[in-house]
Amino acid sequence: MFTSMNDRSVIVTGASKGIGKGIAQVFAQAGCQVLLVARTLADADAAAKEIAGAGGRASSIAGDVTSESDMQKIAEAAMDRHGRLDVLCANAGIYPQTKLEEMSSEEWDQVMATNLKGNFLSIKACLPHLKESDYGRIVLTSSITGPVTGYPGWTHYGASKSGQLGFMRTACMEFAKYGITVNAVLPGNTLTEGLLALGEDYLETMAASVPLKRLGTVEDIGNAALFLATKEAGYITGQTIIVDGGQIVPESLEALQEA
Ligand code: NAP
């Protein structure tokens, strides 16, 4: 039995849709007070209202993780609304699919600014408040793409998702003296609005390549994030949990089909 997460104050970035919304839902169901962040306030509002409608405590705020001042404002909003800050789920990320030969340096910069610098700015803004809490949990959403696997069109994305783990391994050492842990969930293909945009063929091929024969749900990822945020996970830091239905395991297509 895990210690209750009731009343824990949580910020989730990229929470209006997809995995971030799923993380926010799972934390709210566990009794946390959740602040949902996205650039489009109407979408973040709708997600927060849906969670509140199901009995959770959730509110929304507009913000861009690539903006230092936005992230400071968001960290302060969590303090104003919840009186403390215990958990940051740095989840916001983008994955435009463009092969290297066609990729512009602007697109490269945008992916790095959102997925990698966004983590740095979110954590920097939240750190003073997480230090004040006698708790302190940071959960990053990385990916299997980059740290473990590759996929055409995602050189920038894979580099950013691997970069998050390099960042995490030093950040967890720097924050250990404050009792703050830093860990990452590495989702496989998870059914989200962003993934749906990649098309039906992509979704079918990916589901067929997963030993558990389905794509991940946002709750699958939210549950792993929640575990890393529990009191009982307090001795785990600088680590990763892959949540992919076994996708990275088969040595070959034949191995998958034979089973
Ligand atoms: P999604 O469905 O496209 O949702 C992305 C969310 O992030 C939205 O709420 C979006 O809202 C927000 N966002 C994007 N840029 C932002 C910014 N600069 N500042 C603040 N919020 C921003 O994406 P997803 O599939 O849930 O992916 C979420 C995370 O999971 C990403 O880090 C991604 O790399 C990772 N991941 C996803 C999968 C998958 O299969 N879906 C697999 C592995 C890893 P606004 O546009 O309004 O800002």
Query: What domains are defined for the chain?
Result: 9-196+215-249 (3.40.50.720)
Stretch 139-147: mean pLDDT, rounded?
Answer: 98
Q: Is the CB of 117 under 6 A from ligand 1?
A: no
* Catalytically annotated residue among 95, 135, 151, 157: 157
Single-letter residue type at 228:
L
The DSSP element (H or E) to which 24 belongs, if any, is helix 18-29
Residue 1 CA, ligand 1 centroid: distance in Å:
31
Q: Is the CB of 20 under 6 A from ligand 1?
A: yes
Q: Using CA positions, which residue lies closest to atom 34 of ligand 1?
A: 93
Q: Is the CB of 40 under 6 A from ligand 1?
A: yes
Catalytic site includes residue 95 = no
Asked whether residue 259 carries a pLDDT value surpassing 90, the answer given is: no
pLDDT, greater one: 92 or 198? 92
Q: Distance between CA atoms of 198 and 256, rounded to whole angstroms?
A: 23
Q: Using CA positions, which residue lies closest to atom 7 of ligand 1?
A: 14
Write the pLDDT tens digit of every residue in 199-218: 999 899 889 999 999 999 99
How far is the CA of 3 from the CAs of 91, 226, 233, 234, in angstroms? 24, 12, 10, 11
Beta strands per DSSP E along 91-195? 137-141, 181-187
Residue 165 CA, ligand 1 centroid: distance in Å:
17
Asked whether residue 194 carries a pLDDT value surpassing 90, the answer given is: no
Stretch 147-175: mean pLDDT, rounded?
Answer: 98
Asked whether residue 225 carries a pLDDT value surpassing 90, the answer given is: yes
